[in-house]
Amino acid sequence: MPEPRFKPCMQDQPMLLPPDIGDLVPEGSMPRVVDMVVRSIDRSTLTALYPGGGAPAHDPQMMLKVVLLAYASGIYSSRAIARATRENVGFLWICGMRPLDHCTVNRFRTERVRPVFEEVFSEVIQLLADMGLVTLDTYFLDGTKIEANANRFTFVWAKSTRRYKEQLRARVRAHLAAIDEMDDEEEALAPDDPSEIDSEAIAEAARRINERIGRKGVGKRPKDEEGRALRRASRMLEGEWAERMARYEEQERTHAGRGSYSKTDRDATFMRMKEDSLTNQTKPGYNVQAGTEGQFILDVTCHQRPGDTACMVPHLEHAEGTMGHLPSEVVADAGYGFEQNYTWLEERGCDAYVKHNEFFRECRNSRWREDPMRPANWAYDGEADAYACPEGHTLSFRREEATRTDLGYESTTRVYVGEGCPACPLRGRCFRSKDPEAVRVLRVNPTLDAFKRRASEMLHTERGSMLRRRRSVDVETIFGDIKRNWGFRRFLLRGLEKVDHEMRMVAMGHNIRKMAYALAV
């Protein structure tokens, strides 16, 4: 049997001349693409971040290359990035064989470059457009939830805060009312409405009680009932009650209309994550909205609201600043099919290929679509402004109701009331009520209904069908790639502003990966 043979390993072989490390980084590789992208950015944007003087700082272009290469490679920890500058050939070439400290990396990405990173991101998007990789005309929008860097058990619920605050108000008022009953000659301490009790009211009540104690000469250990009540009220108003009321008011300010927040990251809101859908457990996180074209991320923003509906307008306003203009076509799923969003897009001349909440049933459920009990199928008399149900009963117009959403959008609903409903044989199919004399009340939003019909028409065109098919593979794919393939499922930074910046760095890393793949073809 022949002897096994091996190629020689010259690990310890000295070299007469050291190799050029650039020869070890092939053309078209990720470090080369990052170098090309950063060189195309205006250098003055980065150098303006430094005031001058002191010890020489690391070159900002080199630092930006290191950070972007790290995020494009799925390396997010500052210590892991610093280790890569010592061990990874691509990083060694980028930083010129001068390894970085993790504090330097973290300080640059979280503090130094943050004020201008949106401008840098915008320049890269324009570079993609100049290279012909995107047109900036079609915008596929969707959202996903990403967990915050916060303890999932340190939650503060808005409902609990309100309940505890009302209980404290009732307790304070009851105690002050008991003191008022002891001495009718003194000015009343307890307000008529408990909702008037706040931190200022508690401080004022404590001041007045202390004045009464001084005026009546109540000692530290009074023997009479009124003296003990005054001393206890003074102690509680200046101590526990004042502290609790201040805490509840601070919690309400932090909630700012949200239903919850985390004590670890006060900007994070508790949301249901798809990763833990079976456990039905909420986690502190952010709602990440991303707009894409050709699987390139054109813009990304982070929001505190769990629902996508209220995020569309602020996201597109930000995207307009990033791209320089609004896209001519916006494609989104039914989570964005809201009257305010349709109105906003129409006012700005954007074609809204946005599904509404009934679009899926319109397409798939012919029984529901053709159901005669569905109000959309009822005959409408424009002159009489009335609807006719399948039994021929008339629903006449009665009034208009104006509603305002928590976003401040005003909507108008027209109310129609039926006649002859108590004896109608289709009453059980038409509506449910325990009152035998109840009649059908129909609420119609003409503006929203018109937007829904327009959206359905556009989505069923040849162009709309193509965009619907592309949306699922265009924008949803990037979330799976970032979260599943590249392991970014949890933010490292805290606070809405820093989280927004971190997500934009992740988006930049994704775009650089896609650019490298596109240039390699």
pLDDT at 276: 64
- pLDDT at position 169 is 92
Contact 145, 285 (CB under 8 A): yes
Residue 430: name the closest of 382, 352, 503, 377 by CA: 377
pLDDT of res. 108:
95
Q: In 3D, which of 331, 365, 358 has the Cα closest to residue 476?
A: 331
Amino acid identity at 485 = N
Place of tokens 């349709």: 342
pLDDT at 218: 61
- Decide the pairing of beta strands 269-272 and 282-293: antiparallel
Encode pLDDT of 55-75 as tens digits: 889 999 999 999 999 999 999
Instruction: Write down the residue that tokens 């309100």 correspond to.
Output: 162
pLDDT, position 348: 94
Helix (H), strand (E), coil (C) string for 386-451: EEECCCCCEEEEEEEEEEECCCCCEEEEEEEEECCCCCCCCHHHHCCCCCCCCCCEEEECHHHHHH
State mean pLDDT over 488-503. Answer: 95
Determine contact, residues 100/85, Cβ cutoff 8 Å: yes
Q: What is the pLDDT of residue 20?
A: 85
Both structure tokens of 195: 């909702």
pLDDT at residue 488, rounded to an integer: 95
Per-residue model confidence (pLDDT) at position 280: 66
pLDDT for residue 429: 82
Tell me which of 26-40, 62-76, 223-237, 470-484 is least confident: 223-237
More confident residue, 470 or 234: 470
DSSP string for residues in 99-138? ---HHHHHHIIIIISGGGHHHHHHHHHHHHHHTTS--SSE
Token pair of 231, please?
């001393």
pLDDT for the residue 135: 94
Cβ atoms of 355 and 333 within 8 Å: the answer is yes
Please tell me the predicted confidence (pLDDT) of residue 217: 63
pLDDT > 90 in the chain, percent = 58
Tell me which H or E stretch contains 332.
Answer: strand 329-332
CA 494 to chain centroid, in Å, comes to 14
Is residue 278's pLDDT more than 90? Answer: no
- Each residue of 99-118: pLDDT tens digit? 999 999 999 999 999 999 99
Q: Which of 63, 42, 45, 36 is nearest to 128 (CA)?
A: 36
CB 414 within 8 A of CB 400: yes
Mean pLDDT to the nearest integer, 292-312 = 95
Contact 302, 269 (CB under 8 A): no
pLDDT tier at 237, thresholds 50, 70, 90: confident
Q: How much is the average pLDDT of 448-476?
A: 93
Mean pLDDT across the chain: 89
- Segment among 254-258, 343-347, 510-514 with least mean pLDDT: 254-258
The values of phi and psi at residue 424, to 5°, are -75, 130
Mean pLDDT for the stretch of residues 29-40: 94
Instruction: Give the amino acid at 17.
Output: L
pTM of the full structure: 0.88
Q: What's residue 508's pLDDT?
A: 96
Q: Are the CB atoms for 511 and 134 separated by under 8 Å?
A: no
pLDDT at res. 369:
86
Least confident span in 228-237, 457-466, 481-490: 228-237
Reading the block at residue 212, the tokens are 């009464």
Q: Give dist(CA 388, CA 38) in Å, integer.
A: 66
Q: Give the pLDDT confidence score for residue 451 in this predicted structure.
A: 94
Alpha helices (runs of H) in 137-257, residue ranges in sequence order: 158-182, 199-216, 225-238, 240-255
Query: How confident is the model over 38-42, as a mean pLDDT?
Result: 92
Q: 394-404 and 410-418 as β-strands: parallel, antiparallel, unpaired? A: antiparallel
pLDDT surpasses 60 at 123: yes
DSSP 58: P
H runs (alpha helix) in 304-377:
312-323, 339-347, 359-364, 366-369
Which pLDDT belongs to residue 219?
A: 57
Whether the Cβ atoms of residue 406 and residue 437 lie closer than 8 Å to each other: no
Average pLDDT over residues 487-503: 95
Q: What percent of the chain has pLDDT over 70?
A: 96
Residue 311 or 1, more confident:
311
CA-nearest of 296, 315, 299 to 307 is: 315
CB atoms within 10 A of CB 256: 11
Decide the pairing of beta strands 410-418 and 155-157: unpaired
Tokens 């404590």 belong to 206
Residues in the chain: 521
312-350 as b/e, with b when 16 or more CB fall inside 10 Å?
A: bbebbebbeebbeebbebbbbbbbbbbbbbbbbbeeeeb
Strands 138-147 and 329-332: parallel
pLDDT band at 277 (very low <50, low <70, confident <90, very high): low
In single-letter form, the type of residue at position 514 comes to: K
Q: Which two tokens stand for residue 300?
A: 């990304």
Give residue 42's Cα distance to chain centre. 31
Q: Is 313 helix (H, G, I), strand (E, B) or coil?
A: helix
Kindly report, residue by residue over 389-443, the tens digit of the pLDDT.
Answer: 988 888 889 999 998 887 788 889 999 998 878 888 888 888 888 888 888 888 9
Whether 93 contacts 21, CB under 8 Å: yes
Q: What is the residue whose two structure tokens read 């709309």?
A: 464
Residues 314/408, Cβ–Cβ less than 8 Å: no
Quote the CA–CA distance of 512 and 120 in Å, as a whole number: 13
Average pLDDT over residues 80-107: 94
Q: pLDDT at position 252, please?
A: 92
Nearest to 116 by CA among 483, 379, 505: 505
pLDDT at 184: 67
Cβ burial of 83 (10 Å; 0-12, 13-18, 19+) is middle
* pLDDT number for residue 352: 95
At 6-25, the pLDDT tens digits run 888 888 888 788 788 888 89
